[in-house]
Structure 1
Amino acid sequence: MPDWSYHPLKRLVLDKFRPKSSREFIHKSMSTIASIPGGRKFIGFLGHMKPPKEFQKEVNHTTFPSPIGLSGNIDPNLSGIKVFQELGFGFIEIGPIVLNEPNVQKEPRMENSHILFSVDLQEKIPLKRVLQKLTNQNIRIPIFARIDEQVNRHEWDIIVQHLTPFVDAFIGTSQQAYSCVDKTLQRPFYVSLSSDEINNTEIEKLVKHAGIGGIVVTAPRQTLDSYWHEASNANECLANRVKQVNEQHPELIVITCGGVETPEEACALDRAGADLLLLSEGYVKAGPGLPKRIHERLFYEKVQPIKKQNWAWSFLFGLSILIGGIIALYFAFTSIILPYDEYFIGLTRDDILQVNPLILSFMSHDRMALAGTMISGGILYIQLARHGIRNDMHWAKIAFHSAAIIGFIGIFLSIGYGYFDWLHGLFWLILLPIYYFSFREGKRITGAPYSIHGSNDKAWQYGLYGQLMFIILGFMIVVGGIVISTIGVSKVFVSTDLSFLCMSPQMLDRISDNLIPVIAHDRAGFGSALISVGLLVLMISLWGFRKGESWVWNTLATGALPAFIAGIGTHLFIGYTTFIHLRPVYFLVIVYLLGLVLSYPFLKMKG
């Protein structure tokens, strides 16, 4: 559930339910998607959240894909453990773990935008359920098991014995460290301390203990009745404590828990010297995209100057499509059908005009719409090449080539009704070697995105809704392209088409057996072009939204205009203005305008 869907759903629905119900709904829904074939790849497609390889690090002989982890407070029942590794986390904390199911457990509650956790009767998970959840889950990131502070030595031994094959480290109290941890423990043990408990005497004792792998410093808490939530100054206090520990004991591994609601707060802890960070309450407020945003903010601080990549062939590919669209638009406004069309149909342009002039108008409207879509596609490809591929953006390469391959496959749709347009075929034949060299130069594109944005400000919040609008736009264009292509290779016409023509398919067949195949190939070709352009809009919207990326706003603003102008203008030009027929286009225009307005402050904001 990316941020652009999480926040609208949270505001409209989830906040109206108990926190536990909302939490379980989200985690179980995502886990269900991750469980179906291709589900994890679908989640990856939506979020593109895999941590950059530059963040991989080794701590106590354990490799972490990212220093960002998730606290056990967020998923005490392990309902979402299948999916968190797909959301960019480098490790997961589970627990507190007890041997047997507690008789009484208090649910968290929400008050004044804070999640309140129980002080004494917090949610705990029994060992049996932990083992059930961890078995056959194909979890590829490290797991830290937090053992409840109230377990006795006998229970400790049972829990550790059963969990050692499944987890990479244990977390517990200093009392457990002294009474239970010895050289026989096969996993690192991290002592959990609140920020208020940090004092030099305690740290000195822990450092001398042979079985201690490091400490977990928990953000300061504010108590309300029998519940707690993170204090308002949690991040600042936590950063000071981490800095203090690092100055006195630089060899000690320090993990923080909580105190992070924004990417900038994560950077503050990283600068203070934290080795690993566990997200807690702030993750719920900021949304599932927080790990990705933290990676991009950290990467911004660490990234070297951008290595410019070759992009000439990719630019030429987009330019060729743009020029092809302009040529197609010229023919749509002038002769409409070409000599080889006349030869195949068996009628000249004048013959068709004498039978029914609306036939040529109808053919013109499909060809104009195709031309406008090609021009839009050309602009999108050019922008992706110029600003994405040139700047070594891996996501831009994936978007570019995915849409291009779909576009090449679309040529087969245009012959689905038995008519091969040799000019279309020649155009794709010219494009093929250009695309081949574009694909080759794209093999070197491996760079991860980065962003200066570090806050959860209003511009970012509005930007999420703008992003949602563009994602809807791209998705609807893809759906529309699939529908039009399907119609183009099957029944060809919808009812409003026949009403405009004032003719039935049978009447058109009596004019010429080959007239409908010519109309069908234009329609199918237009549909496949829509699918390709829709994918471009969708992937740019999914993966390209970052603070100050004005080129993304410019691309979406200018790239969609030719298709919309051609789509609506051609209908007005020929008089085909049936509201039901144009209703989907009007809806898309509204979504497009909303997307532009809502995303403008975020994408166009500098600094």
Structure 2
Amino acid sequence: MPDWSYHGIFRPLLTKLSPMISREFIHRGMNTIASLPFGFGAHIINFLGREESSHFLKLEKHGLEFKNRVGLSGKIDPLQTGTRAFTNLGFGFLEIGPITLNPTEQFTKPIVNDESQVIHFPKNAESIGLEKTFKKLHKLKKKQPIFARLVGTENELLKMIQQLDNFVDGYIIETNRTEILHNTQKPVFYAGEVINFPKQACSGIVLEKKQDSSLVEEIINLRKTGFHGTIITSGGVSEPEHALKLLDAGADFIMVSDGYVFSGPGLTKRINEALVDRLNIDPPPQPGWFSYWLFGLFIMIGGILAFIFSITSVILPYDEYFLEMKRETIWVFNERIMQFMAHDRMTLAGTMISGGIVYMQLARHGVRRGMRWAKQAIDAAAITGFLGIFAFIGYGYFDWLHLVLWLVLLPVYIYGFQKTKGIRGTPSSKNRKNDRVFKKGIFGQLSFVLLGFSFVLGGIVISIIGVTSIFVSTDLAYLCMPPEMMEAFNENLLPVIAHDRAGFGSALLSVGLLVLMMSLWGVQQGQKWVWWTYLIGGLPAFYAGIYIHFAIGYTTFIHLLPAYIALGLFVIGLILTYQFFRKQD
């Protein structure tokens, strides 16, 4: 669940419910998605949130490989209802528990203080018990190290370790009795009072945020005593800056807890992007990016040519050849048919120009810098666009100009695709705080995500209409003529119009995917080029799509309402994200 959906949609609703109900609603819902067969759920989560970690953040410690240094505290999910989902949310490791030998009969409701942004978790360990934990771990497909927090007597700890040892990668215990360490080869971390810390016996220590305590000072003091073991912190992180300070002070790993609830599930991603940003990586230009840029340029040129034709001749000689009729004859029969065709062709032209600009920007600023998300956005949209050519012939008419463009674009795209196969870079971000600029940016991102979804949905609907009924009721009202009369006039006229409709729908779907994926994956603070891509890329499509309707007098409100809504989302997104994309600290 990315921040744009958490803060923009779900959290305002869930705060009306009790903390336990809202927590379980979120965790069970996410777990259900993550449990979809064939890895489909993991792909959905990755598509919406893009939680991959940079390979620069990987590290090995205690014989384990961590994708990054950020983990999740078990306090967030004591019932372990969301563990499967959390494995897909970009964490470097997970803590589960606390685990006790026997289950707790009744769980204490956490007390959430929204004003101070603190969650008061139960002081005594509350657990689903060893048996249920074992069953959950047995079904779990691990994607990162899992540490089990164990609570109990020495004998109970020994029994739990014996049963869990094949399923977890380490333990967190709250006792300084070190005899149990001889019963496992896994790392064991102490989570009690520092004064009682058995330094020589444990692999490291877990420092937990307490009220009015400073984790940074605790870390510094512990390092000053000469301790070189692993330090893990739990809590005290509600924005990336907090995490950076803890790591700078000497912490090896951090676990987010209540800050994860208030800041949102995107906190992990924001911390990792901030860590990448501090590395100040300047990769060499990625081979193949220029081919993708040319791909966008050719689409933009094609759109410009289509725009010129739409405001001059409207139909081309090969259209007349197929129709076996001159354009003048159609003008005389019903001038609104020609105007309607100009309307379809100009909206297609605007969409192509916008799409070409977005392709070029993604290639220049994304793929060139090795951003994997930018390549995948281009690939998904381009392949969809190529497949859309089959929608053009749904009624038996094939546009040869489209074929020429298709043949020009295909080798250019294939070359770029092959050359960028190994791309794996991840984004960086200047974001450090949950300030007003960040919060506005979240809602701006939501606007752009909704805009992308609306384009995708609109493209699908228009494509389906193009290859089925061709017209909607407002079209026929504008034309003042039923399809049967047009078919009687010229039996090839409907296939040409259907071709235009399906072509526009396919182009809108392709560009919609670009906008959607850029909105889901490419919104990071300080990336000014993304804001300019939205602005410059959006203007041609909106101008052509709205202008032509007024130029030909097709101004039915219900017909233009989707365009008005899309324009509103576009403007809102630009306004709310302006400072976010420009802010460098």
TM-score by length of 1: 0.93
Amino acid at match of 1:494: V
- What's the secondary structure of 2:95's corresponding residue? strand
Contact 1:462 1:598 in 2 (8 A): yes
- What's the secondary structure of 1:87's corresponding residue? coil
**Number of the residue aligned with 2:303:** 325
Map of 1:127-166 to 2, 5 A cutoff?
Answer: 127-148=130-151, 151-166=152-167
Contact 1:509 1:516 in 2 (8 A): yes
The answer to whether residue 250 in structure 2 is matched with residue 249 in structure 1 is no
Displacement of 1:331 in angstroms is 0.7
**Number of the residue aligned with 2:199:** 207
**Number of the residue aligned with 2:119:** 116
Displacement of 1:155 in angstroms is 2.0
Contact 1:218 1:256 in 2 (8 A): yes
Displacement of 1:143 in angstroms is 1.1
Map of 1:35-114 to 2, 5 A cutoff?
Answer: 35-37=35-37, 38-111=40-113, 112-114=115-117
Cα distance in structure 1, aligned partners of 2:155 and 2:362: 61
Q: Which of 212, 237, 242 is matched with 1:260 structurally?
A: 237
Cα distance in structure 2, aligned partners of 1:479 and 1:9: 20
**Number of the residue aligned with 2:186:** 187
Contact 1:106 1:122 in 2 (8 A): no
Displacement of 1:269 in angstroms is 1.3
- What's the secondary structure of 2:388's corresponding residue? helix
Cα distance in structure 2, aligned partners of 1:286 and 1:29: 19
**Number of the residue aligned with 1:426:** 404
- What's the secondary structure of 1:336's corresponding residue? coil
Displacement of 1:121 in angstroms is 4.0
Cα distance in structure 1, aligned partners of 2:427 and 2:184: 40
Displacement of 1:587 in angstroms is 0.8
The answer to whether residue 564 in structure 2 is matched with residue 564 in structure 1 is no
User: Unpaired runs of 5+ in structure 2?
Assistant: none
- Over 3 Å off, 4+ runs: 113-116, 118-123
Q: Which of 274, 279, 283 is matched with 2:256 structurally?
A: 279
CA deviation digits over 1:555-583, x for unaligned, max 9? 11111111111111111111111111111
**Number of the residue aligned with 1:228:** none
Query: Structure 1 residues 394-403 or 458-467, which shifts more?
Result: 394-403
Map of 1:236-385 to 2, 5 A cutoff?
Answer: 237-310=214-287, 311-385=289-363
CA deviation digits over 1:228-274, x for unaligned, max 9? xxx4xx5xx21222222223335311111111111111111111221
- What's the secondary structure of 1:93's corresponding residue? strand
Contact 2:189 2:204 in 1 (8 A): yes
Contact 2:427 2:524 in 1 (8 A): no
The answer to whether residue 217 in structure 2 is matched with residue 216 in structure 1 is no
Displacement of 1:337 in angstroms is 0.9
Amino acid at match of 1:189: V
Displacement of 1:7 in angstroms is 1.0
**Number of the residue aligned with 1:31:** 31
- What's the secondary structure of 2:83's corresponding residue? coil
Q: Which of 514, 525, 529 is matched with 1:547 structurally?
A: 525
User: Unpaired runs of 5+ in structure 1?
Assistant: 223-230
Displacement of 1:451 in angstroms is 1.6
CA deviation digits over 1:452-491, x for unaligned, max 9? 2111111000100000000000000000000000000111
Amino acid at match of 2:543: I
Cα distance in structure 2, aligned partners of 1:116 and 1:182: 32
Amino acid at match of 1:147: L
Displacement of 1:9 in angstroms is 3.2
Amino acid at match of 1:183: H
Displacement of 1:10 in angstroms is 4.8
Contact 1:144 1:167 in 2 (8 A): yes
CA deviation digits over 1:151-175, x for unaligned, max 9? 2233222211111111111111233
Displacement of 1:423 in angstroms is 1.0
Displacement of 1:595 in angstroms is 0.8
Cα distance in structure 2, aligned partners of 1:591 and 1:289: 22
Q: Taking every aligned residue pair, what percent have the same amino acid on both sides?
A: 48
Contact 2:300 2:354 in 1 (8 A): yes
CA deviation digits over 1:535-573, x for unaligned, max 9? 111111111111121111111111111111111111111
- What's the secondary structure of 1:274's corresponding residue? coil
Displacement of 1:185 in angstroms is 2.1
Displacement of 1:444 in angstroms is 4.5
Amino acid at match of 1:296: E
Amino acid at match of 1:28: R
Cα distance in structure 1, aligned partners of 2:306 and 2:7: 43
Contact 2:154 2:180 in 1 (8 A): no
Matched residues, number: 581
Displacement of 1:115 in angstroms is 3.9
Cα distance in structure 1, aligned partners of 2:436 and 2:203: 41
Displacement of 1:307 in angstroms is 2.2
Cα distance in structure 2, aligned partners of 1:183 and 1:109: 38
Contact 2:59 2:67 in 1 (8 A): yes
Contact 2:430 2:525 in 1 (8 A): yes
Contact 1:34 1:83 in 2 (8 A): yes
- What's the secondary structure of 2:328's corresponding residue? helix
CA RMSD of aligned residues (A): 1.5
